[in-house]
Amino acid sequence: MRILVLVPDLAAAGGVSAFFNSLQGQFKQHEVEYFTRGSRPKVGRLKQLVLKFSDYLRFIRLLSTGGYDLVHINTSLGKKNLWRDPWFALIAKLFKRKTLVFFHGWKPDCINASNKWLLSILLKVDGIVVLAREFEDRLRQWNYQGRTFVEATVVSKQLESMLSQAKTRKLADRVRILFLSRIEIPKGVYESVQAFKLFRQAAGIQSSLVIAGDGSELNKLKEYIEQEDIQDVSFCGFVSGEAKSNVLKDADIYLLPSYSEGMPISVLEAMLAGMAVVTRSTGGLVDFFTNNMGRITDSKDPQVLADLLISIISNPSTLSEISDFNRRYAKDNFTVDPFIRRLEAIYKSI
């Protein structure tokens, strides 16, 4: 089969761009081509408008001449994408192409009376992929009649290779905790440093917290840590490539008490690195996460998070058992090769 996959500019920053960079050239069963649409980095405002219009014309031309069997549209349930991507779905259906939509982001609050008709266009496609069962349930509430699939994101091939030599974590004289995400309030960064402070007071073991990432709260967070006199917290900024691999391999426990998520790839990366994970019950994590992988909670309370961190180090064997389990589980479920097999099976079923 020939598959046309609509992707953002692969040179742009962002999770979806990184995701499809990882998948490029890895498909085995089908002939897959990428079609770039949407914003381009370092392009002026006027040219952006011209490109957005020409994207539809290029798409029509490809469908009229390319002989594609299926169109795969990657989007997010948000205002910007809701005004852009339904038209691609409508064009694909007018050309009588099977159509699959993959929702990478999920903000149902964006749906209102003025744009609900745009959503209705997307709800006429042949299949929809989401990152959590609660999103699938919402599709059924919206009376979607097509096929649904619950999937995960994946760790990049490059990072997978770098983490292949990651060692099993063992309880030592110092416990190293990592927070790796955007430095923003909804990511639970303040709860993380508060939990770390409580953990240090109660654990009776040396510990450190590394905060990796950048964001609008970075300077305020540093001021807060100084005001609260929280010791052994370090910042390493935005990390990628080998630097990201190193911070993942150097830590023991990954802490991400994010308020909401679709499928946080940083959790999957931490698992592949063999880290134990403490996180919140959000998005797709609810569908697979168990105490074999670390600890998960509905609470944002720093004391609850601190207690969960302590529970991981309370038994000398717990950290090692979680570490081994996470590496195996992530390799089997969140790396490129098994994901490609699942995605190509979805294509075939559609």
- What's the pLDDT tens digit per position in 205-252? 899 999 999 999 999 999 999 999 999 999 999 998 999 999 999 999
- Same structural domain for residues 126 and 180? no
Residue range of the domain that includes 81: 2-154+335-349
- Same structural domain for residues 244 and 341? no
- Same structural domain for residues 285 and 171? yes
- Same structural domain for residues 119 and 185? no
- Same structural domain for residues 100 and 30? yes
- Same structural domain for residues 194 and 329? yes
**Contacting residues for 275 by C-beta, under 8 A, at least 6 apart:** 169, 178, 248, 251, 252, 253, 254, 323, 326
This prediction's pTM = 0.89
> Contact at 8 Å (CB) between 79 and 115?
yes
Q: How do residues 89-144 score in pLDDT, each as one tens digit?
A: 999 999 999 999 999 988 888 888 878 899 999 999 999 999 999 999 999 999 99
- Same structural domain for residues 318 and 200? yes
Q: How many domains does the chain have?
A: 2
How far apart, in whole angstroms, are the C-alpha atoms of residue 102 and residue 168?
34
What pLDDT is recorded for position 298? Answer: 96
CATH number of 241's domain: 3.40.50.2000
Q: How do residues 12-66 score in pLDDT, each as one tens digit?
A: 767 788 889 889 888 999 999 999 998 877 777 777 777 888 999 999 999 998 7
- Same structural domain for residues 222 and 326? yes
- Same structural domain for residues 329 and 285? yes
- Same structural domain for residues 149 and 293? no
